[in-house]
């Protein structure tokens, strides 16, 4: 005689089959659903198991899959009981059962069940019985077919979701799990089904999971838990019937959180950049006044005068301060870019040579692609970028080491997956690799923030890598960092390739003409005064205007005399940009020198593209002012 | 006319006690389902109505109680189609038939439990 388990959610079916089989001398157990069956199977090893296909709390198909993978029960003779055997015989075949029995009238089902058990017993409870027993009085119904199709469709939808779905009983036991849930938890279906949900999580997380289930609000409170290195978000929706379990939604939010963190970091850098640019701009105006006055005073003094050296020292300190503001502007991408087509290898060689002279204990290795494409960039900015990276590498190798600088052409595919999709196209890849102390993840996340430094007090401003970041972004490029403690660091910079030919050397300026009259426009009175005095010192006749409106009026009155306009870009009221446009309408040939503590991104470029203009970054020396004006007017510097 | 228990004993070759217990089991389970159905109809929960009606229909088909099976099937189909209007009438008919079976069992005496 056989030991038999009957799993069916209707008491009438369980009672009838039990009566029938016990009468034949078999030992019969019953279970009301898949979950109860698994609990029972922990203590028994039946030879035959009747499994109803459609049941709550772990359905028949899932139960069959679990049994077939179970070391204890994989050899059991499985008989699926199906009320839809006539409509969907393929469902019966998909369960991996040994036999199938149609759930029709008991007077047909009963004898068929007995016959199945007897046949199986005679074959030693092995093998597969073809066909569906007891089907003779069961007729296929169209409506049942349609309902089955709808059910299958919903199952396909649920299986297609990337979010994990778990159905729980009131006792928090899992009775359904879609494929995504299995993937997210990293556990097989048989490990998940029938398990208590909190036990699927590490011990330290279980209490929080229990708390989520106990909260039981229909708003679906969310809980985040760690599973290995991943972060999972859990949301629980109890069923409407009190105490009847619910549905748990499970999502792997590791990637989303990583992207959010990067976005927040990018936004933080952006806002710090705006702040830094504003400070630098105002500071440059102050420096312009200080430097201009110091230079004017120096020009009036003999070198033997006791104040001569002091004034020169003021000018030197202003130049140092200017370098700081240039770093700030570099980071904020508000520094002026004098874009030209550049051959990067020459710049790398020259900068490396200059750096190498200061750090002889560092071996510098160059791996430069001879066929490197040109880039369009600002020579000064890119030089600063290279130097900052080399100084940073040098600081990471206080006792010496190796610094490798390499360049090669590449495509956008080599730029690693970023928050934003890299712009498609060809790039020049510049790599700066050192064998220094390296950085941990925490440091790596903050290195591009201005004023963040790991160097000792007084050794670093925290602006070097911040300006590198700004310069790269300002050139439409991308920067990546690989580093870990003790393993050195590699900075990879991708700059868009240029298809433009390399520029030819500019012709020398023409000989000076007679004295020119200039219109100087600046809203800052001290700057207006000192710049005006500097221009006078250079031999120009200067007309001054403190606003765009006033400048227009002066220009209209003296248009025939004015050879060029020296124009502050950032002014209240009529901005330098608007004034420039209105001057161009009055005189399309007007020559303009744009001066600014910074230029709003792209603004100066647009003006310069329109021609007849040059740019001068504040603060400027007398010589820089002279040379820039000479370039604008096509004359030799004064 | 034979009672449900008598018919089950005859058709399923059961002894009278087992047949009465089976009939009683059906009536008890169906009464529970019927109460669930009434609550689901009040709540307008089409999914719960279809599921409970399917449960009743299966057992009624097993025992060939056509008066209940046909009503349960109609309930399932109407609820699945979102047509709630005829549900109360179908439930009343099912309830009436169930009451008849309950009275029949009471007359026969206490059944044997599962």
Write the burial class of residue A294 (CB in 10 Å: 0-12 exposed, 13-18 middle, 19+ buried): buried
Q: What is the pLDDT of residues A55-111, one digit of tens each?
A: 888 888 889 989 988 888 988 999 988 877 666 666 666 778 888 888 889 998 999
Query: Cβ A110–B12 below 8 Å, yes or no?
Result: yes
Over range A238-244, report the average pLDDT.
73
CA distance A67 to A62: 9
Q: Check if the beta carbon of residue A302 is closer than 8 Å to that of residue A335.
A: no
DSSP character at residue A496: E
What are A248's two structure tokens?
A: 């748990």
The closest CB to that of A15, out of B22, B55, B64, belongs to B22
Q: Do B61 and A105 touch (CB under 8 A)?
A: yes
Are B55 and A10 an interchain contact pair (Cβ–Cβ within 8 Å)?
yes
**Other CB atoms closer than 10 Å to residue A632's CB: what's the count?**
23
Return the pLDDT at A573. 80
| pLDDT at A334 > cutoff 70 | no
Average pLDDT in the A335-362 region?
82
Query: What's the burial of B55, exposed, middle or buried (CB within 10 Å: 0-12/13-18/19+)?
Result: buried
Whether a cis peptide bond, with omega within 30° of 0, leads into B59 is no
Q: Chain B within 8 Å of A16 (Cβ-Cβ)?
A: yes
| Beta strands at A99-102 and A246-252: parallel, antiparallel or unpaired | unpaired
Give 3-state DSSP helix, strand, coil % of chain A, rounded to 5: 45, 20, 35
Question: Is A517-633 the same fold as A3-142?
Answer: yes
pLDDT score for A511? 34
Residue A459 at interface with chain B, using a CB cutoff of 8 Å: no
pLDDT digit string (tens) for A430-455?
Answer: 999 999 999 888 888 778 877 677 66
pLDDT digits (tens, 9 = 90+) for A185-213: 999 888 999 999 999 998 888 988 888 88
Please tell me the distance from the alpha carbon of residue A591 to that of residue A607, in angstroms, as a whole number.
12
- Residue A589 — very low, low, confident or very high, per pLDDT cuts 50/70/90? confident
Instruction: Report which of A474, A492, A398, A489 is spatially closest to residue A443, judged by C-alpha positions.
Output: A489
- Higher-confidence residue of A261 and A93: namely A261
- ipTM rounded to 2 decimals: 0.89
Q: What are the backbone dihedrals phi and psi of residue A440, each rounded to the nearest 5 degrees, phi first? A: -85, 175
Residues of B at the A interface (Cβ-Cβ below 8 Å)? 8, 11-14, 18, 21-22, 25-26, 28-29, 43, 45, 54-55, 58-59, 61-64, 77, 80, 114
Q: Is the peptide bond before A619 cis (omega within 30 degrees of 0)?
A: yes
Q: How far is B93 from chain A (nearest CA, A)?
A: 22
Is the model's pLDDT at A633 over the cut of 90?
Answer: no
Say whether B62 and A13 touch across the interface (CB within 8 A): yes
Laid out side by side, the sheet with A613-617 consists of: A541-545, A517-521, A562-568, A592-596, A613-617
Q: What is the pLDDT of residue A144?
A: 67
Confidence category of residue A504, pLDDT binned at 50, 70, 90: very low
| CATH architecture observed for domain B18-105 | Up-down Bundle (1.20)
Q: Are A430 and A492 in contact (CB under 8 A)?
A: yes
The string of pLDDT tens digits covering residues B54-88 is 889 989 999 999 999 999 989 988 888 888 888 98
Chain B residues near residue A240 by CB distance under 8 angstroms: 43, 45
Whether residue A104 and residue B61 make contact (CB cut-off 8 A), yes or no, is yes
Longest dimension (CA), chain A: 128
Q: Please report the sign of the dihedral spanned by the C-alpha atoms of residue A206, residue A208, residue A214, residue A219.
A: negative
Q: Which of A103, A32, A8, A11 is nearest to B28 (CA)?
A: A11
pLDDT of residue A510: 40
Residue A457 has pLDDT above 60, yes or no: no
pLDDT of residue A556 exceeding 70 = yes
A113 touches chain B (CB under 8 A): no
**Percent of chain A at pLDDT exceeding 90:** 29
Q: Which residue of A has its CA nearest to B33?
A: A10
Is A22 within 8 Å of A14 (Cβ atoms)? Answer: no
> According to the model, what pLDDT value does residue A420 have?
65
Q: Residue B32: pLDDT above 60?
A: yes
**pLDDT at A338 (0 to 100):** 67
Closest approach of A10 to chain B, Cα-based (Å): 7
SS3 A541: strand
Residue A263 φ then ψ, to 5°: -65, -45
pLDDT number for residue A419:
55
Q: For residue A541, what are its two tokens?
A: 């006749």
First to last CA, chain A: 117
CA A614, CA A592: separation in Å to the nearest integer? 7
Tokens 């679990």 belong to A66
Between CA B99 and CA A418 the distance in angstroms is 70
141-160 in chain A: CB under 8 A from chain B: 143, 147
Answer yes or no: CATH 3.40.50.170 is held by domain A344-498.
Answer: no
In terms of residues, how long is chain A?
638
DSSP A196: B
pLDDT of residue A198: 93
Model pLDDT, residue A139: 67
pLDDT of residue A448: 83
Looking at residue A507, what is its pLDDT?
43
pLDDT at A489: 94
**Encoding tokens for residue A229?**
């290195």
CATH architecture group of domain A3-142: 3-Layer(aba) Sandwich (3.40)
Tell me the three-class secondary structure of A220-246, residue by residue. CCEEEEEECCEEEEEEEEECCCCCCCE
Measured in angstroms, the CA of A143 and the nearest CA of chain B are apart by 8
Backbone angles phi, psi at A321, to 5 degrees: -65, -35
A226 vs A8, more confident? A8
3-state secondary structure of A595: strand
User: Domain residues of chain A, as ranges?
Assistant: 3-142, 161-252, 344-498, 517-633
- Torsion sign (Cα): A136, A138, A142, A144: negative
Record: contact A106-B12, CB cut-off 8 A: yes
Answer for the pair A51, A64: CB distance below 8 angstroms, yes or no.
yes
**DSSP tag of A136:** T
Task: List chain A residues with CB under 8 Å of B45.
Answer: 240
> What is the number of alpha carbons within 13 Å of residue A508 lying toward its C-beta?
3
First-to-final CA distance of chain B: 26
* H or E, element range at A262: helix A254-300
pLDDT in tens, A269-311: 777 777 777 788 888 888 999 999 998 898 888 888 888 888 9
Quick check: pTM over 0.80?
A: no
Answer whether A46's CB lies under 8 Å from A121's CB: no
pLDDT at A46: 94
Predicted confidence band of residue A321 (pLDDT cuts 50, 70, 90): confident
Determine the Cα–Cα distance for residues A174 and A194; give it in Å rounded to an integer: 5
Q: How far is the alpha carbon of B8 from chain A, nearest alpha carbon, in Å?
A: 9
Contact: A105, B62; criterion CB under 8 Å? yes
Q: What is the CATH number of domain A517-633?
A: 3.40.50.2300
Residues of A in contact with B21 (CB under 8 A): 15
Task: Please give the Cα distance from A343 to A349 (Å, whole number).
Answer: 11
- Angle in degrees, 0-180, between the axes of helices B66-80 and B87-108, rounded to the nearest 10: 150
Whole-angstrom Cα distance, residue A202 to residue A89?
A: 42
For residue A7, with 0-12 CB atoms within 10 Å meaning exposed, 13-18 middle and 19 or more buried, which class applies? buried
Q: Read off the pLDDT band of A517 (50, 70, 90).
A: very high
- What does residue A565 show for φ and ψ, rounded to 5 degrees? -115, 130
* B58 Ramachandran zone, left/alpha/beta (phi>0; psi -120 to 50): alpha
Q: What 3-state DSSP class applies to A491?
A: strand
* Longest pairwise C-alpha distance within chain B: 43
Q: How far is B60 from chain A (nearest CA, A)?
A: 9
| CB A517 within 8 Å of CB A543 | yes
Model confidence at A503, in pLDDT bands (50, 70, 90)? very low
- Burial class of residue B67, CB neighbours in 10 A (0-12, 13-18, 19+): middle
Most confident of A294-308, A346-360, A588-602, B61-75: B61-75
Architecture of domain A161-252: 2-Layer Sandwich (3.30)
Contact status, residue A174 vs residue A192, Cβ threshold 8 Å: yes
Structure tokens at A566: 């020296």
């Amino acid at each position: 005689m056989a030991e038999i388990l009957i799993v069916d959610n209707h008491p009438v079916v369980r009672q009838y089959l039990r009566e029938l089989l016990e009468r034949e001398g078999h030992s019969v157990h019953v279970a009301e659903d898949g979950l109860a069956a698994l609990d029972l199977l922990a203590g028994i090893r039946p030879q035959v198991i009747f499994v109803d296909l459609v049941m709550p709390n772990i359905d028949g198909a899932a139960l069959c899959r679990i049994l077939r993978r179970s070391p204890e029960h994989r050899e059991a003779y499985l008989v699926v009981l199906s009320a839809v055997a006539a409509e969907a015989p393929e469902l019966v075949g998909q369960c991996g059962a040994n036999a199938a029995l149609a759930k029709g009238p008991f007077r047909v089902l009963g004898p068929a069940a007995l016959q199945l058990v007897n046949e199986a017993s005679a074959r030693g409870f092995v093998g597969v019985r073809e066909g569906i027993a007891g089907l003779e009085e069961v007729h296929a119904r169209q409506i049942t077919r349609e309902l089955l199709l709808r059910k299958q469709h919903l199952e396909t939808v649920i299986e297609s979701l990337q979010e994990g779905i778990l159905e729980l009983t009131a006792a928090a036991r899992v009775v359904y799990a879609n494929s995504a849930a299995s993937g997210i938890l990293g556990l097989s279906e048989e490990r998940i089904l029938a398990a208590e949900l909190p036990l699927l999580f590490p011990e330290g997380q279980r209490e929080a999971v229990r708390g989520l289930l106990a909260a039981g609000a229909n708003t679906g409170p969310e809980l985040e838990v760690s599973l290995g290195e991943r972060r999972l978000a859990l949301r629980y929706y109890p069923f409407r019937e009190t105490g009847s379990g619910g549905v748990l939604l499970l999502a792997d939010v590791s990637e989303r959180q990583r992207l959010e963190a990067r976005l927040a970091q990018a936004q933080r850098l952006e806002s710090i950049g705006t702040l830094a640019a504003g400070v630098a701009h105002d500071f440059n105006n102050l420096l312009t006044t200080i430097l201009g006055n110091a230079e004017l005073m120096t020009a009036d003094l003999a070198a033997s005068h006791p104040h001569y050296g002091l004034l020169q020292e003021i000018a030197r300190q202003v130049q140092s301060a200017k370098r700081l503001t240039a770093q700030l502007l570099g980071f904020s991408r508000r520094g002026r870019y004098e874009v030209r087509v550049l051959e990067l290898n020459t710049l790398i060689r020259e900068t490396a040579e200059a750096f190498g002279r200061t750090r002889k204990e560092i071996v510098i290795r160059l791996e430069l692609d001879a066929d490197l494409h040109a880039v369009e960039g600002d020579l000064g900015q890119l030089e600063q970028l290279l130097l900052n990276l080399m100084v940073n590498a040098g600081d990471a190798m206080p006792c010496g080491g190796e610094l490798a600088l390499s360049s090669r052409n590449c495509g956008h595919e080599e730029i690693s997956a970023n928050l934003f999709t890299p712009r498609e196209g060809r790039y020049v890849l510049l790599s700066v690799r050192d064998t220094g102390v390296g950085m941990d993840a925490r440091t790596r996340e903050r290195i591009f923030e201005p004023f963040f430094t790991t160097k000792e007090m007084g050794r670093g401003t925290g602006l070097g890598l911040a300006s590198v970041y700004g310069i790269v972004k300002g050139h439409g490029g991308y920067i990546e960092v690989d580093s870990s403690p003790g393993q050195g660091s590699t900075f990879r910079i991708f700059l868009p390739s240029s298809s433009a030919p390399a520029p030819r050397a500019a012709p020398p300026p023409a000989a000076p003409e007679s004295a020119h009259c200039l219109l100087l426009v600046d809203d800052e009175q001290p700057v207006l005064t000192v710049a005006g005095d500097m221009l006078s010192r250079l031999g120009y006749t200067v007309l001054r205007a403190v606003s765009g409106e006033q400048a227009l009026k002066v220009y209209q009155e003296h248009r025939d005399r004015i050879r060029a306009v020296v124009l502050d870009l950032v002014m209240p009221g009529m901005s330098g940009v608007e004034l420039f446009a209105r001057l161009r309408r009055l005189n399309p040939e007007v020559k303009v020198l744009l001066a600014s503590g910074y230029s709003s991104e792209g603004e100066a470029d647009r003006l310069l593209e329109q021609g007849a203009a040059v740019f001068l970054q504040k603060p400027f020396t007398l010589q820089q002012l002279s040379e820039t004006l000479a370039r604008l007017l096509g004359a030799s510097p004064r | 006319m034979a009672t449900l228990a008598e018919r089950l004993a005859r058709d399923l070759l059961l002894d009278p006690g087992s047949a009465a217990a089976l009939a009683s089991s059906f009536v008890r389970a169906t009464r529970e389902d019927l109460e669930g159905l009434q609550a689901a109809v009040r709540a307008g929960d089409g999914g719960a109505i279809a599921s409970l009606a399917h449960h009743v229909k299966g057992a009624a088909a097993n025992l060939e109680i056509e008066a209940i099976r046909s009503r349960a099937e109609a309930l399932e189909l109407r609820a699945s189609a979102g047509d709630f209007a005829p549900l109360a009438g179908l439930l009343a008919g099912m309830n009436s038939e169930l009451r008849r079976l309950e009275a029949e069992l009471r007359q026969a005496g206490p059944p044997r439990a599962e």
